[in-house]
Amino acid sequence: MPNHHLHSCNCAGCQTEAISKAEKDMHVQLSENSRRDFLRRSTKLGLGLGIGGGLVSAPIAASALNNEDAAYKAKSMSENKAVRDGKATKITLLHTADIHSQLLTHDEFFVENGKNVFKKRGGFSTLKTMVNTIRNQNKTNTLLIDGGDCFQGSGVAAMSQGKAIVPLMNNIGYDIMLPGNWEVVYGKEMMMKDMFAYDGVKVCANMYHKTNDELNGDLIFPPYFIKYIGGIKLGFIGYNDPLTPKRQSPAYSDGIQFTLPESNVAKYIKILREYEQCDMVFLLTHMGLAQQVGLANMPEVKGVDYILGADTHERVRTPINGIHTKVTEPGAFGSFIAQMDIIVENGEIKDHTYQLLDVDPSLYKEDEEMKRLVDKAREPYKKELNRVIGKTKTPLMRYYVIETPMDNFITDAIMWKFKPDIALSNGFRFCPPLVPDPKTGEADITVDFLWNMLPVDSEAKTGKITGKQLLGWMEKELQNAFAKDPGKRFGGWVVRFKGMEVNFTIGKESGKRVNWIKVGGNPLDLEKIYSFVACEREGDPDTTICRVEGVSEPKRLGATLHNVIEEYLKFHSPIAPKLEGRCTATDAPNTLLTQLMGFGYEFR
């Protein structure tokens, strides 16, 4: 397989010519599979199609998609007169992502009129009812898509290595599945077993086998999927985050090579547009909103109608316009479904709307079959998961980019246990909030919630660095979060800590954002040696801890973070963590909710 990272030319013209015979054969196979699938389904439905021996119809105009006046109208498609009169067809795409194995209805965070509001959302039983309600309104022309990070993020997922989640997703009836950056968490073999156990089609064009056998260099999943539906052809190309081996513990991705989307996306767009004559082309990506907007600005994606994104748990309520295409993202934790409706009349795309819908248990009754399946999935672990290990008086939440109460709690525990100069926690995003009961003023912290906060129970590790190393590392972490080019922003929010204070300016140049750092209340001494504790990342060099490189005297501490949290709560429960100003920006509030500023997007 060519090394795409070293490709000397990334222009669209060069990419489109690089279509090998093997890939053409794969194209034919995928195309024929989609034809057979369509014919089988259409025969069962008794549709009078009049399609003869093939599915390619007369050329279909999609120009309306590029007409800003036609896009994102507030009215519901059910009000479209042509649909009501039977003169037009509606196609519905439903999109979820970053469910992170949140099986039960949970607290969810919103900002309304400038105030924090918490509401009950999600749960697989509610999600299934909502999906079926929407799907039943348009039975033959609805596709359900998941954008990845599904079988990691909870105790049931971790204890079953994702296996317990697969039957639940199959019961909902997903049509297309994309692997996310956390799908690698149990290793390549388990990822493949879990992903291929899904009934839906799998797509990913940038994950390759990196082995010593005949699979070396082959794609792990088909790169794209084509569906003839509602009188038009839709094409879907999948991309996982190419930075996955750096974002997760490197060992998780052993045996997998990731490439950049721009290394082959133009080639696949050409296949779908010119050979398959697709009327709409979608990228299914799990790269984070900032990187997806960066991708939307690259000439290689010309010909793509939408990037249906995932990873940063952003709630895109109006698609974001890039230079060449538009970007969406459907929130997280099964709390939301993105719905796109497309109207086709006489072979032309006439109208379309997009909306982000809450999975609201007050509007959708729980599906009884799914409730039984969820109970079955939880049963082997239920007693341990329900064990209460402490209480909180303030909401435990992780939505803020710069500092979070949840990670202040975690770093408080690390500092209490090991007493280093600095305690560190990665800039994780997963875990829905935990909100105290208004009547008691407290919420139970269970083992289940501990797994939600820390789905990988890593061992604590200590090391020593100079003040100069600490400053350089902090600058690098801020560049990862706030690079001026959105395509260069690393996954994850700002790293979290206890024992030091940092003040920075987002708008400054790379390497110059930090205004000052204090450790233990004193200004940073570039020559001084500081001790710190963070979690071990499997596969990192021994002298790397929490992406801090060149650490001296590294040492594993013989206790996992779960053990540390439980021990801390025995002495300190109930806790009441809050924002303390440990990390502050001169040009953003400490309640900043997104990396993507300046694009008209607002998290709410």
pTM of the entire predicted model: 0.86
Coil/strand/helix, residue 233: strand
Q: How far apart are CA 98 and CA 366, in angstroms?
A: 21
Residue 392 pLDDT greater than 60, yes or no: yes
Residue 383: its pLDDT value, please?
97
* 446: its two tokens: 């269970």
Residue with token string 């799914």: 370
Do 263 and 4 contact (CB within 8 A), yes or no? Answer: yes
Neighbours of 347 (CB within 10 A): 13
pLDDT mean over 482-498 = 85
For 42-89, what is the HEC assignment?
HHHHCCCCCCCCCCCCCCCCCHHHHCHHHCCCCCCHHHCHHHHCCCCE
Residue with token string 């800039």: 427
Which H or E run includes 15? Answer: helix 12-17
Q: Where are the alpha helices (DSSP H) in 63-182?
A: 81-84, 124-136, 155-160, 166-172
Q: At what angle do helices 405-418 and 561-572 cross, to 10 degrees?
A: 90
Q: What is the largest CA-CA distance in the chain?
A: 79
User: In degrees, to the nearest 5, what angle opens at C-alpha 278 toward C-alphas 33 and 131?
Assistant: 70
pLDDT digits (tens, 9 = 90+) for 524-533: 999 999 999 9
Q: Where are the domains of the chain?
A: 13-37+55-368, 386-585
Q: What are phi and psi of 213, to 5 degrees?
A: -125, -165
Residue 70 pLDDT greater than 90, yes or no: no
Residue 49 pLDDT greater than 70, yes or no: no
Residue 15 pLDDT greater than 70, yes or no: no
Q: Which amino acid, 319? A: P
Neighbours of 75 (CB within 10 A): 9
Range with lowest mean pLDDT among 265-269, 426-430, 558-562: 426-430
Task: Mark residue 148 as left, alpha or beta (left: phi above 0; alpha: psi -120 to 50; beta: remaining).
Answer: left
Q: How far apart are CA 325 and CA 328, in angstroms?
A: 10
- Note the CATH number of domain 386-585: 3.90.780.10
Residue 487: its pLDDT value, please?
73
Coil/strand/helix, residue 447: helix
pLDDT digits (tens, 9 = 90+) for 119-139: 999 999 999 999 999 999 998
Q: What percent of the chain stands above pLDDT 90? A: 75
In 3D space, the residue among 100, 203, 160 whose CA is nearest the CA of residue 385 turns out to be 160
DSSP type of residue 367:
P
- Note the CATH number of domain 13-37+55-368: 3.60.21.10
Range with lowest mean pLDDT among 357-371, 441-455, 471-485, 487-501: 487-501
Residue 86, Cα to own-chain centre: how many angstroms? 38
Do 405 and 395 contact (CB within 8 A), yes or no? Answer: yes
Q: Which amino acid, 348? A: E
* 48: its two tokens: 């009078």
Q: How far apart are CA 154 and CA 101, in angstroms?
A: 6
Do 289 and 594 contact (CB within 8 A), yes or no? Answer: yes
pLDDT digits (tens, 9 = 90+) for 256-267: 999 999 999 999
pLDDT digits (tens, 9 = 90+) for 242-259: 999 988 889 999 999 999
In 3D space, the residue among 504, 515, 518 whose CA is nearest the CA of residue 585 turns out to be 504
Q: How far apart are CA 216 and CA 196, in angstroms?
A: 19
pLDDT digits (tens, 9 = 90+) for 299-325: 999 999 999 999 999 999 999 999 999
Q: Where are the alpha helices (DSSP H) in 454-513?
A: 467-482
Q: Which amino acid, 490? A: F
Q: Please, is 45 exposed, middle or buried when counting C-beta atoms within 10 Å of its C-beta (0-12, 13-18, 19+)? A: exposed
Q: How far is CA 133 from CA 121, 122, 247, in A?
A: 17, 15, 37
* 238: its two tokens: 């999948």
Q: What are phi and psi of 372, to 5 degrees?
A: -65, -40
Q: How far is CA 280 from CA 262, 456, 581, in A?
A: 19, 39, 47
Coil/strand/helix, residue 298: coil
**Helix, strand, coil percent content, the chain, rounded in steps of 5:** 30, 25, 45
Residues β-bridged to residue 108: 119
Mean pLDDT of the chain: 87
Q: Do domains 13-37+55-368 and 386-585 have the same CATH topology?
A: no
